């Protein structure tokens, strides 16, 4: 097991499938790609600004953002964050993972779909509570968030009047161009910039993620610090000492052996949106030119009663990465169920678990599942975190970003574009009669 502070990697679940020597054989390639990224060169070099964010974001603009977030916390009950893809998934991932650490107004998300039922329900749930909007879009014309923004902006103007509505809207957008920038400048919205050299799925450490997280009361400086500490670790030229390079090498080694699907599994219920963020990051970065590892996810033990069957006994073309968090609520234990005579009735067969914590039971469920999947021929990586806080999560997110940059280039694709995403838009706009 290798330990990097924010998490550790356990790789003994790979021994029957890929030898250490095979992983080490990629060391020269990962080192060369790491150096290329460090020089800001190679495919997609114009979108490598995320590498500098942990350090570049700390300054006067971050203080302005924190001050504005504090004011927003004082005059609203709900903040509606409007965006799609990378414009919301990073923030929702962190908020969901650290929900017990949040405070202040409720943060909800819109612009992620075009379903009338979902939007109507959200409007109904908000009711007459005081609201603010944070609209996130480089262009301002992406259909899903643009529709939601028009709906919620109309609601704000009806409720507060045009002038007061403007004061309740924050725009995170391009520095100088696009429909949202033009509108924000004309209306005088409080605005923050999405850097030109940072793509949406790499934007969690820009105001795209930092503004909603600050409003929620999370320590965004600790998030940046964790990412910064991990960025230093991920510059190591020795593959075994660099978790991003090591993970990328393992993934590509397994891919070249025919393992074309990766399942990110967790036993921690609050990590569901981290899994969703991870799926976008890896799917959109690697799935090109007929190549790429398909990213899937499972939440256990729930999915052990469905997808667990396939993982255990299905086609041997997938590998599994467990995302494990040791800490939870240690004082939540299984109670006794005493009968009239004082003895545990044990009608449900749980007497052997009385006074044992759910954390212990969940840990054993992970260990048993891991052992069963390895025995069933599934290559397994275990990524274990001792605790979930802003610092450790910042490190985890940056690790995945650096890993997919290296892994995508190992596949021979540009990890920073997404040409296939435009296909559905073109067909949709034709059907809608867009001029």
- What pLDDT sits at residue 343? 80
- Considering the domain architecture, whether residues 33 and 131 belong to the same structural domain is answered as no
- Please write the tens of the pLDDT for every residue from 95-106: 999 999 999 899
In a domain, 264, yes or no: yes
Q: Which two tokens stand for residue 66?
A: 């924190």
pLDDT tier at 1 (50, 70, 90 boundaries)?
low
- What pLDDT sits at residue 95? 96
- Considering the domain architecture, whether residues 109 and 193 belong to the same structural domain is answered as yes
- Considering the domain architecture, whether residues 244 and 369 belong to the same structural domain is answered as yes
- Considering the domain architecture, whether residues 290 and 366 belong to the same structural domain is answered as yes
- Please write the tens of the pLDDT for every residue from 146-166: 999 999 999 999 999 999 999
Q: What is the mean predicted confidence (pLDDT) over 276-301?
A: 96
Least confident stretch, 305-319, 357-371, 380-394, 409-423: 409-423
Say which CATH number the domain at 236 has: 3.40.50.10490
- Considering the domain architecture, whether residues 244 and 173 belong to the same structural domain is answered as no
Q: Tell me which residues are annotated as active site.
A: 284, 305, 425
- Considering the domain architecture, whether residues 104 and 170 belong to the same structural domain is answered as yes
- Please write the tens of the pLDDT for every residue from 171-213: 999 999 999 999 999 999 999 999 999 999 999 999 999 999 9
pLDDT tier at 420 (50, 70, 90 boundaries)?
low
- Considering the domain architecture, whether residues 166 and 276 belong to the same structural domain is answered as no
Of the residues 218, 251, 285, which one is the last residue of a structural domain?
A: 218
In a domain, 341, yes or no: yes
Q: For the chain, what percent of residues have pLDDT higher than 90?
A: 84
Taking 80 as the threshold, does the pLDDT of residue 245 lie above it?
yes
Mean pLDDT over the full length of the chain: 93
Domain region containing 402: 2-41+225-411
In a domain, 86, yes or no: yes
- Considering the domain architecture, whether residues 167 and 242 belong to the same structural domain is answered as no
- Cα–Cα separations (whole angstroms), residue 184 to 152, 179, 215: 15, 9, 20
pLDDT tier at 228 (50, 70, 90 boundaries)?
very high
- What pLDDT sits at residue 349? 86
The DSSP bridge partners found for residue 296 are 263
In sequence order, the 6+-apart residues with CB closer than 8 A to the CB of 123 are 151, 155
Is the alpha carbon torsion for 226, 404, 282, 315 positive or negative? negative
- Considering the domain architecture, whether residues 24 and 55 belong to the same structural domain is answered as no
Least Cα distance to 286 among 199, 421, 407 occurs for: 407
- Considering the domain architecture, whether residues 198 and 287 belong to the same structural domain is answered as no
pLDDT tier at 86 (50, 70, 90 boundaries)?
confident
- Considering the domain architecture, whether residues 71 and 168 belong to the same structural domain is answered as yes
Whether the Cβ atoms of residue 119 and residue 404 lie closer than 8 Å to each other: no
- Cα–Cα separations (whole angstroms), residue 26 to 1, 20, 225, 416: 19, 10, 30, 22
């Amino acid at each position: 097991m290798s330990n990097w502070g924010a998490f550790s990697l356990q790789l003994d679940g790979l021994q029957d499938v890929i030898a250490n020597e095979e992983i080490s054989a990629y060391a020269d390639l990962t080192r060369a790609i790491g150096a290329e990224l460090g020089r800001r060169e190679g495919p997609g070099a114009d979108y490598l600004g995320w590498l500098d964010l942990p350090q570049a974001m700390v300054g006067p603009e971050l203080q302005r953002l924190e001050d504005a977030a504090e004011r927003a916390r004082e005059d609203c009950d709900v903040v509606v964050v409007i965006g799609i893809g990378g414009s919301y998934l990073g923030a929702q991932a962190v908020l969901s993972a650290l929900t017990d650490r949040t405070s202040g107004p409720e943060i909800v998300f819109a612009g992620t779909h075009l379903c009338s039922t979902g939007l109507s329900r959200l409007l109904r749930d908000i009711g007459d509570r005081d609201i603010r909007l944070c609209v996130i879009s480089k262009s301002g014309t992406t259909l899903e968030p643009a529709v939601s923004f028009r709906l919620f902006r109309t609601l704000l103007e009806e409720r507060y009047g045009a002038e007061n509505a403007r004061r309740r809207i924050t725009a995170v957008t391009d520095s100088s161009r696009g429909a949202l920038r033009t509108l924000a400048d004309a209306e005088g919205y409080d605005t923050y910039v999405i850097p030109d050299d940072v793509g949406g799925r790499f934007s969690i450490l820009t105001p795209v993620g930092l503004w909603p997280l600050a409003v929620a009361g999370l320590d965004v400086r600790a998030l940046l610090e964790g990412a910064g500490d991990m960025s230093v670790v991920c510059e190591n030229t020795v593959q075994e000492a660099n978790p991003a390079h090591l993970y990328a090498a393992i993934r590509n080694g397994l891919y070249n052996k025919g393992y074309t699907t990766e399942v990110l599994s967790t036993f921690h219920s609050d990590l569901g949106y981290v899994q969703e963020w991870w799926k976008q990051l890896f799917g959109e970065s690697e799935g090109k030119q007929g190549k790429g590892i398909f990213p899937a996810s499972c939440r256990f033990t729930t999915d052990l009663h469905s997808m667990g069957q396939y993982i255990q006994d299905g086609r041997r073309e997938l590998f599994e990465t467990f995302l494990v968090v040791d800490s939870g609520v240690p004082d939540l234990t299984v109670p006794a169920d005493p009968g009239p005579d004082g003895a545990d009735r044990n009608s449900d067969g749980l007497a052997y678990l009385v006074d044992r914590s759910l954390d212990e039971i969940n840990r054993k469920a992970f260990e048993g599942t891991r052992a069963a999947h390895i025995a069933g021929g599934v290559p397994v990586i275990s990524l274990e975190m001792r605790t979930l806080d802003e610092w450790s999560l910042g490190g985890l997110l940056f690790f995945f970003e650096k890993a997919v940059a290296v892994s995508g280039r190992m596949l021979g694709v540009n990890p920073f574009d997404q040409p296939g995403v435009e296909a559905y838009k073109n067909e949709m706009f034709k059907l809608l009669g867009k001029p």
